[in-house]
Amino acid sequence: MVRKRVILLLQGLFLCGFLAIGAYVLSIFQDYSTQVFKENCIAQMDFAAKLLTERLPKNPTREQMEAETAKVAAELKLKLEIVDAIDADFNEAVRAYIDGQSTAIRVDTANQERTLYIAKAIGQDRLVLHAPFSMRSVTAEYTKMRTAILAALLLVMLLVTALARYLARRIAQPLEEIAETAAKMSQGDLSIRLQRNVAGEFAVLSHALNTMADSLAEKMDEIYREKKKLELIMKNTDNSVVTINKDGLISDCNDQFRHQFGQFDKGQHYMQVVNNVALEELLTTCLKTGLPVNKNITVNSAHGKRSFQVFAAPLRAAYSDTPSNVIFVFHDITALQAVYEKQAEFVSNASHELATPLTTIKGFAETLLTEETSMDAEMRKKFLNIILQESERMQALLRDLLQLARFDSEEYRKSITVASFAPADILGELLEEFLPRAQERKLKLEVLYEKEPGKIMANKDWLKQILVNLLENALKYTPGNGDISIKYDHNDKFAIFTVHNTGEGITAQEASRIFDRFYRIDKARTRQVGGTGLGLSIVKFIVEMFGGEISVSSKPGEGVAFIFTVPRDLGSDVTPKPLS
């Protein structure tokens, strides 16, 4: 296409120039040939008039003049005639009568040729000598000249075409290379470069295009890296990210958002995916103010009821100050919210548990003070015993709270070492310690095992505390003539301990919450037997720190069994190490 344009342009320029020059040359040639022809004809006419004047007698008649004119015309081979200037139809005759001589060029009606007409006064009244001269020779010379010019034009056009092709190739080749390179660059191939050996203006253009390609390649690499980085962040982030346009339609989202809220199609309205009107407020505020906002919301997602901290930020299109989209980041705070709620519940329960014995102590102390003289010794002793029991209960509660606080301390946990030991000795000590108390309440206590578990990896004091808490719990809730047993066994990796007691048992709903802090199945009875509601929470915490698991198995009327596991010492490492 470029070559054709160059060829046509050059051909057009040469053609226009040559035609202009040819027309100018033809015009000059025609004027010159006509002038020469006219001068020759005038000379002949002057000679004929002179010859006629010399031969005419003095005061000749018109017939004599016409006769003599015919003789001169025959001698000179001219078409001469005598015409009356006044009666003649030729303008040149009238002008000749006035000016002495006149010429005119017009087409002869007889032969349709251009003819030069000359009229010359001969001094005989109104009579003038008139003669036509055919311009056939002038026309023939003009035709030859025109033919020669056309032939030259054809030859020159051939030469110009050849030259134009050569020049077009020289001009168009670098342009075509530049256009082809630019087309490949536009398709994404930024590795291609133009040759550096191009001369002239194309060298500057080639250098500029190569420089632009280098710059674009760097920018594209940077954009690609940023895109990959963003994709990696969006893919591996725990937050759900979604982009919503001003019409409320979802433009884009990450995989976490789809996992959190289920599968959907792009372009779907967000209310069909996240059914919460709070998003409408965030969307409207962002689009209106152009500022980021955030809010905590609760949504029924594909994984149940979840709490999110939602951050919304406006997105603006390029070269626009008006936001057209809003990006939402859903940070799941369900676990954190549950922790806050449990902390609030814990503080409330702890305050309540501390307030109860303090109220009792205060009440009985005030009674002792006001009734100091009238109260008998037995009643005073009873009140003092109640104060003592409530103090011991409050002391036990504080001890358990301090124990939980120590468990939450990473530094304290690192101070506790885990070592390899056989649990048989601890079970023997516990049997010796709790058997008198069980017999006092007419309960049967025994340790049972089918296979000796060997050594376990744990901390002796903490393992003993687990079993003490479970046995204390069993002693409190086992009715008279009941049975309490400690069984232990093992599998390939764990030693399995089971503390079972007979009694009423608990329901499945109660079993699901029995390890919660301050949870009591029968609060009145728990306070009566002196429980704090924290023992089983401590047990669960220690077991899980060992790397084991604990569960409860019970049916109403069949008693309760607490089952927990502790890792066995498989012989790989017997060196004591801190608990992480």
**Residue range 187-206, pLDDT digits in tens:** 777 677 766 555 566 677 77
How far apart are the C-alpha atoms of 350 and 397, rounded to whole Å? 9
Q: What is the mean pLDDT of residues 459-486?
A: 87
Identical topology for domains 237-332 and 415-578: no
Least confident of 69-73, 165-169, 418-422: 165-169
Least confident of 92-96, 262-266, 337-341, 551-555: 337-341
- pLDDT band per the 50, 70, 90 thresholds, residue 263: confident
CB 18 within 8 A of CB 24: no
Fold of 338-408: Helix Hairpins (1.10.287)
- pLDDT band per the 50, 70, 90 thresholds, residue 3: low
Pairing of strands 127-134, 577-578: unpaired
Q: What is the mean pLDDT of residues 261-288?
A: 83
Query: pLDDT over 90 for what percent of the chain?
Result: 1
CATH code, residues 415-578: 3.30.565.10
The helix-helix angle for 2-55 and 136-186 (nearest 10°) equals 170
What pLDDT sits at residue 557? 79
pLDDT at 576 over 80: no
How far apart are the C-alpha atoms of 274 and 261, rounded to whole Å? 7
The helix-helix angle for 460-477 and 535-546 (nearest 10°) equals 150
pLDDT at 572 over 80: no
> 66: buried, middle or exposed (CB in 10 Å: 19+, 13-18, 0-12)?
middle
**Model confidence pLDDT, tens digit, residues 112-128:** 788 888 888 887 778 88
Write the class of the CATH domain 2-141. alpha beta
CB 28 within 8 A of CB 57: no
> What pairs with residue 104 in β-bridges?
117
Average predicted confidence (pLDDT) for the chain: 79
Q: What is the 3-state secondary structure (H, E, C) of 386-447?
A: HHHHHHHHHHHHHHHHHHHHHHHCHHHHHHCEEEEECCHHHHHHHHHHHHHHHHHCCCEEEE
Q: Which residue has the tokens 């890296």?
A: 225
- DSSP per position, 73-98: HHHHT---EEEETTT-S-HHHHHHHH
Q: What are phi and psi of 237, to 5 degrees?
A: -75, 150
Least confident of 89-93, 101-105, 287-291, 434-438: 89-93
How far apart are the C-alpha atoms of 93 and 102, rounded to whole Å? 7
**Model confidence pLDDT, tens digit, residues 384-411:** 887 787 777 777 667 766 766 666 666 7
CB 38 within 8 A of CB 103: yes
Tell me which architecture the domain covering 237-332 has in CATH. Answer: 2-Layer Sandwich (3.30)
**Model confidence pLDDT, tens digit, residues 507-558:** 878 777 787 766 666 544 444 445 556 778 888 888 888 888 999 888 877 8
**Run of H or E including 225:** helix 201-236
- pLDDT band per the 50, 70, 90 thresholds, residue 506: confident
What pLDDT sits at residue 16? 84
Task: Enter the tokens of residue 410.
Answer: 């990473």
CA distances from 56 to 42, 50, 60, 119, 529 (A): 21, 10, 6, 18, 179
How far apart are the C-alpha atoms of 108 and 350, rounded to whole Å? 138
Query: Model pTM greater than 0.85?
Result: no
**Model confidence pLDDT, tens digit, residues 417-459:** 788 888 888 888 888 888 888 888 888 888 887 666 578 888 8
Question: Could you state, in order of their start, the residue ranges of all structural domains in the chain?
Answer: 2-141, 188-236, 237-332, 338-408, 415-578
